[in-house]
Amino acid sequence: MERRRDPPATRTTSVARREPRSLPAVNLFRTFDAAVRRGSFREAAGELCITPSAVSQQIQRLEEALGVKLFRRLPRRIELTRHGTSLASAVQEALVMLQTACEHVTQERDRVVLCVNASPGIGAAWLIGRLPAFRARHPEIGIVLQSANEQVDFRRQDVDVAIRWGNGRFPSAQATRLGRAAVFPVCSPDFRDRWGLYGREDLAILREVVQLHVTTHGNTWSDWLAAAGHGSIAFRDIQHFSDATLMLEAAVQGHGICLASYLLVEDHLRSGRLVQPIGVELAVREGYYVLVGADAEEPALRFRAWVLEEAKRSLSRRPGPPTIGGGILPDATPQRLGGRISPRPR
């Protein structure tokens, strides 16, 4: 009968965790670096404007702190030990990095940096691609770009400029509309061709497709259909999104069809990723607004002027739609408005 053997015990190896040591003073590394580059305590002293004795003492303090010898003291010269050689390149690199970081901080101190907070859809689809043009025109102004849909309070938040979709009533802000707004259907070229959606006579096919919709938006499909001369249609399904950026990506991938405003889809239309299958647009009372605080300073006002200029250029370059339903509101002028923000980030 074979004797049963117990499996060998598992050996656990315990690795002692080294506690991080406190670093020696930075000036000791600076002295060490000077001695390495100069090859002499005396010449290092001249560079640092201290005595050779002070250099020798600081090197000794560094060696005691690290527990190794860094130099061999020879007649009329010094020579790095292997520990010193290992440390020298790392110290030089660290000091260069530290100097570069300090110079960067000093430069940023004298540079104006604007915090721009844009709704995710317009920020990703329209604003980001145009920021290099602003930086080229105003190299003295830096930009920190944030993305959010929430109401902006310029008195409490560290925000200089915001872009929001709404009805123009924004509390404690100067709101300027980015031109007139209208919405229209967009989809991918493949989606259009797959479903044969080429004109108003094809609208009945919408019963068979998926509507893409941002949950924070009011659904204006019934109004758009009325403007197109068609009655109400129940889509096969509705895919909801929390963000217009996600909705547009779903449209690009051919998952369905959605309503969008021109600034939101301008680059998609120009690149051919999306198409406007039916040339009917619905004018809406809401639109994109660029917002600044009541006491906005010159850099924020420059950015606002640039955004308005870019929006005007975008809208002027688009071909006119064959049909526009509803009344177009005139462009708003800068004004101080109160009220409640609309959460729609088209």
Is residue 320 very low, low, confident or very high in pLDDT (cuts 50, 70, 90)?
Answer: low
pLDDT tens digits, one per residue of 113-165: 999 999 999 999 999 999 999 999 999 899 999 999 888 999 889 999 999 98
Q: Are 314 and 126 in contact (CB under 8 A)?
A: yes
The pLDDT, as a whole number, for residue 49 is 94
- Report pLDDT for 123: 94
Residues 274-299, mean pLDDT to the nearest whole number: 93
40 close to 80: Cβ distance less than 8 angstroms = no
Give me the amino acid identity at 36.
V
Q: At 58, which amino acid appears?
A: Q
Map tokens 């109160």 to a residue: 338
Residue 183 has pLDDT above 80, yes or no: yes
User: What's the pLDDT at 108?
Assistant: 65
Determine the number of helices (DSSP H) and then strands (DSSP E) in the chain.
11, 14
- How far apart (Å, rounded) are the C-alpha atoms in residues 118 and 288? 10
According to the model, what pLDDT value does residue 21 have? Answer: 62
pLDDT tens digits for range 227-273: 999 988 999 999 999 889 999 999 999 999 999 999 999 999 999 99
Q: Percent helix, strand and coil across the chain, each rounded to 5? A: 40, 20, 40
pLDDT above 90 as % of the chain: 68
Q: Tokens 């177009």 map to which residue?
A: 328
Stronger pLDDT, 114 or 10, i.e. the higher one: 114
Reported as a single tens digit per residue, the pLDDT across 49-106 is 999 999 999 999 999 999 999 999 988 889 999 999 999 999 999 999 999 888 877 7
Give residue 111's pLDDT.
73
Structure tokens at 313: 């250029």
Q: Is the pLDDT of residue 331 over 50?
A: no
**pLDDT at 173 exceeding the cut of 70:** yes
Beta strand pairing call for 287-293 and 161-166 = antiparallel
Q: Give yes or no for residue 15 having a pLDDT over 70.
A: no
Q: Which residues in 61-73 are b (16+ Cβ under 10 Å) and which e?
A: ebbeebeeebbee
Report the pLDDT value the prediction gives residue 180, as an integer from 0 to 100.
Answer: 84
What domains, with CATH codes, occur in the chain?
A: 26-106 (1.10.10.10), 111-346 (3.40.190.290)
Q: What is the sign, positive or negative, of the torsion defined by CA atoms of 234, 240, 245, 247?
A: negative
Strand partners, 337: 173
pLDDT of amino acid 289: 95
Residues 235, 164 contacting (CB under 8 angstroms) = no
